[in-house]
Structure 1
Amino acid sequence: ANASATDRGRLRAATVVLDPPRSGAGRAVVESIASLRPAQIVYVACDPVALARDLAFFAERGYPLRSLRAFDLFPNTHHVEAVATLTP
């Protein structure tokens, strides 16, 4: 949120990769990232509930979900990794 005008210009063409803890990013982090207006956000999540909450926060800030893929990296467990792509 304290980025210079030059840095903000660079971020408009950038991809932000977000890989938060199981609890998710939360509203404050989502708002900080969205305020920088990157060209794309790739969100890696290990908790579907936190992902759904944060995707709703991003959608409120003009970043709707464009794609979502799930990966079973831990076979025979309930854990799943998801990768979501968001663009304005």
Structure 2
Amino acid sequence: MGNAHYTVTRPDGEQIEAGYDVAAVCEQDGCTLEIDRGLAYLCGSTPGTPEDGCGGYFCSRHLYTDWEMPSDEPQPQNCLPCIDKRP
């Protein structure tokens, strides 16, 4: 089981509260769906680490898995801009 509540420092230095017990709204422009800031809604795989995503939190309508990316490892979910940035 994950952490219900913790602090994440985003790459730009902004600190936010995260975890599956933290209520939020999808960060996609114009979307108002309520989510939480748990890993299920994270763009990437590690909070606060931009190595495989932007670290934003998005509803299931705005997170995607790039099944075309060859790998034996589990693929992170990403927002569309992050998928578009992949080589």
Q: TM-score, normalised by structure 2?
A: 0.25
Relative CO higher for 1 or 2, CA cutoff 8 Å, sep ≥ 6? 1
Higher helix proportion, which one? 1
Q: Radius of gyration: which is bigger?
A: 1
In proportion to residue count, which structure has more strand? 1
TM-score by length of 1: 0.25
